[in-house]
Amino acid sequence: MLGTRVAKIRGNFILFLLSGVFLFLTHIKAVGTVAGVGTGNNPMMLHSPMNMMVVLLATAFGSLYTQLVSILVILFAYSVLVEPLEIQEPGGAFYMLILAWFTGCAVGVVLMALKPWFPGTAEILKNLYRRMNMIFSGKMVVGNALGGFLLSFFAWNPLFHVIDQCRGFVFRNYFPRNSSWEYALWVGLALLMIGLLGIFYTRKHVSASWGARS
């Protein structure tokens, strides 16, 4: 439907697809796994060495590890079996991958804090966010090709900024003008602080009767 010329980037179209899909999957997986972490009345929290931060960090880094292994295997297999892939600045592209994971974790922490109070709403918001990112993540378009009207539909999304900036590191002749990785970083930090405040507040009001069926 899109064709190989819609990218407006001279280079390997498979690399264009992978640079968007990898970051999209890393972000979405982080949102889902972190948002699904058990609340304060989880039986695992009864063990004294265990606390919410341990569970949260273990889940977040477990998601990152899985995605990193998957990406390395796919890139290695494609480079060996099909053709070598050349990334202009691997360090910058890797940093964008980490930023996509971090912002996904931040969104997941906010949903995790909301879940004990409004479990149904939190689940709806998680699914809505994931569905919206199917379109507005920018994994199939580039920021420089979007006009002012279309750009307004994408600019709110930190994942769009991360993916567009990543393609600036991947391709030699693409210079992203309508995105900023700093925006994604600050949005991620703000969401993380809000989510952690919500989690600590919930920990003070948690009850063993939450989730009990009458």
Q: What tens digit of pLDDT does each residue of 13-68 get?
A: 788 888 889 999 999 999 989 888 765 555 555 555 556 777 788 888 998 999 99
pLDDT of 6 higher than 90: no
Handedness of CA 77, 80, 84, 89 (dihedral sign): positive
Residue 211 confidence class, pLDDT cut points 50, 70, 90: low
What integer best gives the mean pLDDT of the chain? 82
pLDDT of 212 higher than 90: no
Q: How far is CA 128 from CA 121, 123, 133, 134, 135, in A?
A: 10, 9, 9, 10, 12
**Identity of the residue numbered 131:** R
Residue 214 confidence class, pLDDT cut points 50, 70, 90: very low
What is the pTM assigned to this prediction?
Answer: 0.85
